[in-house]
Chain A
């Protein structure tokens, strides 16, 4: 049965965070806020797959430097990405020597990492955790879609995999202003679509299910939540979610925002339905929402990265794409 996981033993808070991005991300509305960008998307590596690993490594370094930490100060790193067998995470992080838990939850990996890191800290098993997730447009296109120079057209509901990474260091000492109060593990929900380009539709159903279940288990009421932040439903998935919210939680319709609609400027570029990828919600959390919480502009948000569980073979075999949405509640109160 799905449970609400409350973090009551320790004061889990964010010690530091960092975000790294590529060409399109630097050109977007949040471009100035990235800690590091590389407009070649290669980050000094020979392939885009290795570049994604390097992005993760640089991002964790940035977060550690801001916290004044060394790799030995971090007890465990929770990381995941979209590449086959999460290779970007393992190849990027092994040099730190930090105990490693590899995660696969597609684009919902960031929330899952935060949830698990907070859980191990709250259980008293570790003192300090790092959560990381990355994605890279070129690596994702090569693996899931078409060669880089291929001349095809995208559907208007297609999303763009972000070349981005977000890293967060957590501990249980409560010195950071932004706390992780509680959370909920995601549940796989059938997205009822076989169209790999329509990921918003594949994920919106699981997002709604998580929101509904959360409020049925939590003491928090919808009006106490300033924002529901989803990972990458994109413009299409967001409209679908708001439609569903309108029926069950009308108060929340105006309080929903999606990270996939924040990374790129629709008026300047051919964005289609928005950004996607594990790095999308991870970087936007670091670039926008944690700072807003730190400044007290936001008091309580639900951070729910959304994931579309599929692989290229499954899609060709005409399987429905499954969605999953874990949740963490972040608070500055």
Chain B
């Protein structure tokens, strides 16, 4: 069942399910059981992602768990770390300043553009019970 290209993808998608799900459970427990605001928890995960990238674990996780690490916000942090590393390798000291935003550029730009576009055509509706 796990042989061949499809098998490899299937295996990785199962691992993605487990890791992604697991990270979400940790988040949920932190939200329910502690007084930490969700903003602080998410910042924690992003910084954790930067740490994973810094320790060279992020790319290994990417190869084996795929979306399980890229979709949760740790992926954002990991991508930033990888981006900074590449920028420093390429530009030297200047890469320190250039790198972080470059890595998060695609995600931030997409979110900004979509947010603005939606605000042009849609209105916020009231919350409901």
Contact = CB atoms under 8 A, between A and B. Distances in A.
B129 A269 contact: yes
A289 interface: no
A269 B129 CA distance: 6
- Of listed B35, B125, B128, residue having the most chain A CB within 10 A: B128
A23 B125 CA distance: 12
Interface string A250-285: 000000000000001000011100000000000000
B129 A271 contact: yes
A220 B125 CA distance: 48
Contact of A149 (B31, B35, B38, B124): B124
| Prevailing SS type, chain A contact patch | loop
Nearest to B122: A149
B107 interface: no
Classify chain A's interface size.
20 to 34
A190 interface: no
Given A148-B124, A149-B124, A160 B129 contact: yes
A147 B126 contact: no
Contacts of A153: 31
B38 A138 contact: no
B125 A152 contact: no
Interface string A14-34: 000000001110000000000
B129 A149 contact: no
Interface of A: 22-24, 41, 48, 137-138, 141, 147-149, 152-153, 160, 163, 195, 264, 269-271
Interface of B: 31, 35, 38, 124-129
Given A24-B129, A48-B126, A271-B129, 7 more contacts: A23-B126, A24-B128, A137-B126, A152-B38, A160-B129, A195-B35, A264-B129
10 contacts: A23-B128, A24-B128, A24-B129, A147-B124, A148-B124, A148-B125, A148-B127, A149-B124, A264-B129, A271-B129
